[in-house]
Structures are given as structure tokens and as C-alpha cells.
Amino acid sequence: MTIQQLYTGCLSEAAYFIESNGESAIIDPIRDTQEYLRLAKEHNAPIKYIFETHFHADFISGHIDLSKETGAPIVYGPKTKANFPFHLAKDGEVFKIGNITIEVIHTPGHTLESTCYLLRDEQGKPYCIFTGDSLFVGDVGRPDLSSGNLSKEELASIMYDSIQNKLIPLPDDVIVYPAHGPGSSCGKNLGPETQSTIGTEKKTNYALQPQSREEFIKAVTEGLEEAPPYFSINAKINKEGYEKLDEVKEKGLKPLSVEEFKTKASEGYTILDTRDGEKFTNGFIPASVSIGLDGRFAEWAGSLLSFKEPMILVTDEGKEEETLVRLARVGFENVEGYLKGGFEAWKKAGEKFDLIINVEADELAMDIPFDKNLLILDVRKYNEFAEGHVKEAINIPLDEMVDVAQIAQLEENQNIYLHCAAGYRSVIAASLLKRQGYHNLRNVLGGFAKIKEQKNIETEKEANVLN
């Protein structure tokens, strides 16, 4: 028996390859399916089933393409309705893969169709459970993403029954393999590991502690941040179907000359620049949006970019396909080419380009006392800001910087110093502001981590988190 976790860091997502005696199965595949096909070939074990734990909201699943490629049926749990062929499994239904079995355990709560899959080994002993978003390390799936007509409190109540009646009774040594790890927005505060055991979760997971239904509902619904806006789009795509990835590649991987690129830009195409922040700030095509591949690229693209407007790319040479695939993982099918030769080709052609000035934290410290028009813009999340920020700074979280009303509080004559925690998000924010006509910008290198080191920059916490 082989079980391999295939973890995609920028999405905090885990898919699984399972093999036994010449047969295999995949659980929660992402959209680019080559790795699953490679593993099946390497193990000489054709894919027999594709198991889905629920309709994912934070990425596009590879279930449809993989099923067409292999002929393997897509399996969903009870309460599932979809616009493509799939096997609607019953609670308790058992699937055989080589010498092992997979049992369907319906665990509604995160969504109504949420289902776990219990793997029994060659001796019939419960070995591990693939929990999807029903159970994470240290957390459970948020109950406010795909509820139909149900409130988050009603779904949390349903989740309480799933946990109490289906998961807690499992043996303590059963390995827990969730669909997500730390950084995912599908829970409130996932632990640092990507696997655990039922016994460990019973001891350490707040949602599995002895508590009443009312206490559980309060615990899992309190403190939920707003879900990223692309979640509803991705859930709908996963339910209704999508364009074949090869077709998305064919349309998007078209090299564009500088002149062709300029024409599309003049027609209102979104220009996405995926180089790292340092390269971008040193020179970029005017009106470009910077989202570097070196961070949580797909999540920020999904949160900040339009799924409807056509898009053209500026990337490091050789990174065009990676960019396209990572965009497709969160549902973007609107890319219509990339700048051949990248930004250097634009410069060599003598075209105009823009810059963002980077400053060290000590330069900010020197400017604060003397610049009356200085404004410090903190683009971290509200909870990060509350834990500590520069005195008199204003807070507009990056995911809200596409909101015109939020940006309207900024004035063009202000000298805006932007920062985040370490520097990735502030470059994205600066590009968005540049695009909207704000040019008196300074990006603080190293973010709040470096600002805190300056003894002459006064910081404070929000009153409710003061020690």
C-alpha cells in the first residue's frame, strides 16, 4: 500500500495518491493532473477512482479532466448535485482498491455534501481518514462558504453532529489527512502540520473538546474573516464544469510582440506582472498589477483580479506556463498571451515604464518628524494591525484595495509610505495605487518587521489586545 500526500504550498492544498496491488485512486486533485498520471504510470497502477471530499471553493479541482483522461469515475458523497457525470456515493458505501478499501463517511457541516473517506488496510483495520475540509490539524472547516439557504450557525450545528457521531468515535491511531494546511482561508487558524491523528486532535483541537452544541457553534463561527471573493466563483466552477486545461494553455501561451502587447493594453486588458517585487519596483509597464510568483500568488490573483476582463502577462522568461497554470488553478481562463522577451523587451523597444521607490525603515523614521504630508498606509489584515502598528497609520487591508470607497480616503498630495508584514503585499498594493493614479509612493522594505526595530518610530496596539 502506498499513500502519498501531494502538497501545493501556494494554495495550502493537499491531494492524495493511493495505490494497492496494481490499482490506484486520487483524492481531491488540483487542476493540473500530470503528476497523478505520472504516479499511476510509475506504480503501474491505473487510476480506478477519483474521490472528492466536497466542492472546493479555494481552487479548481482536476476531477473532470482526470476522469476524461483515465475513464475513472468521480465519486462524491451524499447530497451532491453537479452538472457532470459522477457517482453519488451512499453513507457507508465501500470501494475496493487492490487489497484495501475506502469507506464513505458523510460529514456535512463545512458544506452539505462534505464527506470523509476512511481507508482500511489489507487486514481491514482503520488506517487513515481523508477528511477534506471537515477536519483540519487544530481546526475544522468554516461553515459559512457554501450553505445554500442555511446560516453558518445551522451548518455549524450539523457539523457538531458529524464530529460527535462520525469522527470522534474513530480509533485514536487513525491518521488524519486533511485537504489543507496552514495559511488556508478554509478554516480560522489551521495548525502548522499537514497531517495528524484522531487521538492528537481529540487532545488539541478546540472543536473536538467536550462541549455543548451551543458552545461548539459559538467556537466555530466566532472570528471568521470575510471569505476571499473568488471562493464562490471557484465553488460554482467545480460544480458546473470548466474549460479543458490544454485549451486554456493554448489560448494563453501566445507570445506577443511589444506592438501586439501595446495594442491589447490600449484595449483595456489587465496587465499582470508576476516577477518578484524587487524587479517590479525597479521598472514595470504602466498600469501593471504586480503579484509575484514567489508568494501566495494564486490566492491574491483570485482576490484582486477580474475573472471577466481579458488578461496579458509579463513574466520572467521561462515562467509563462507556470504562471498560466497557477492562474488556472483558481479559475482564470481569460489569459490571452504574454510579452515575448518579458520586461527587458519592453525597455529595449524604448517604451515608457514606471518605478516604485523603495525605502528602508530607518529612512521612514527620519522622514516622519519633518514631512507634514506623510501618510503611513498599512496593508496588513485587521488582526495584524491590531496586534501592533505605527501610531497614526491607517489600515486598508490589501484585499480591500480594489474597493473604490476605501481608496477614496487617500489624497493625491499625500506622501504615502506603504508597508505590510515583510514586503510582498505592499508591492502589490503599490501597483494597485499606481494604476489608480497615486504616484507619491514609497514602499518600505522589510515591512513592519523592520519598522519595529526602529526605536524612534512609535508603535501601538489596539485597546482590545493590549497586555
Instruction: Kindly give the pairing relationship between strand 441-444 and strand 357-359.
Output: parallel
Over the stretch 393-422, which tens digit does the pLDDT of each residue have? Answer: 999 999 999 887 788 888 888 999 999 999
In this model, does residue 391 exceed pLDDT 60? yes
Cell numbers linked to 355: 518605478
In this model, does residue 198 exceed pLDDT 50? yes
Average pLDDT, rounded, for the chain: 94
- Looking at residue 185, what is its pLDDT? 80
- Looking at residue 464, what is its pLDDT? 61
- Looking at residue 147, what is its pLDDT? 59
- Looking at residue 176, what is its pLDDT? 98
Q: Mean pLDDT across the stretch 253-278?
A: 97
Q: Mean pLDDT across the stretch 211-237?
A: 91
Over the stretch 140-189, which tens digit does the pLDDT of each residue have? Answer: 999 988 656 889 999 999 999 999 999 999 999 999 999 999 888 888 77
In this model, does residue 294 exceed pLDDT 50? yes
Contact of 114 with 133, CB cutoff 8 Å: yes
Q: Quote the percentage of the chain above a pLDDT of 90.
A: 85
- Looking at residue 408, what is its pLDDT? 82
Q: Mean pLDDT across the stretch 262-274?
A: 97
Q: Quote the percentage of the chain above a pLDDT of 70.
A: 98
Angle at 112 between CA 110 and CA 113, to 5 degrees: 100
- Looking at residue 463, what is its pLDDT? 67
Please report the domains of the chain, with CATH numbers, ordered by start residue: 2-232 (3.60.15.10), 244-348 (3.40.250.10), 357-465 (3.40.250.10)
Report residue 465's pLDDT band, with 50, 70 and 90 as the boundaries: low
- Looking at residue 467, what is its pLDDT? 45
Choose among 132, 156, 168: nearest CA to 224. Answer: 156
- Looking at residue 466, what is its pLDDT? 46
Residue type, 47: I
Over the stretch 327-346, which tens digit does the pLDDT of each residue have? Answer: 999 999 999 999 999 999 99
Over the stretch 227-252, which tens digit does the pLDDT of each residue have? Answer: 888 998 999 999 999 989 999 999 99
- Looking at residue 411, what is its pLDDT? 86
Cell numbers linked to 137: 490539524
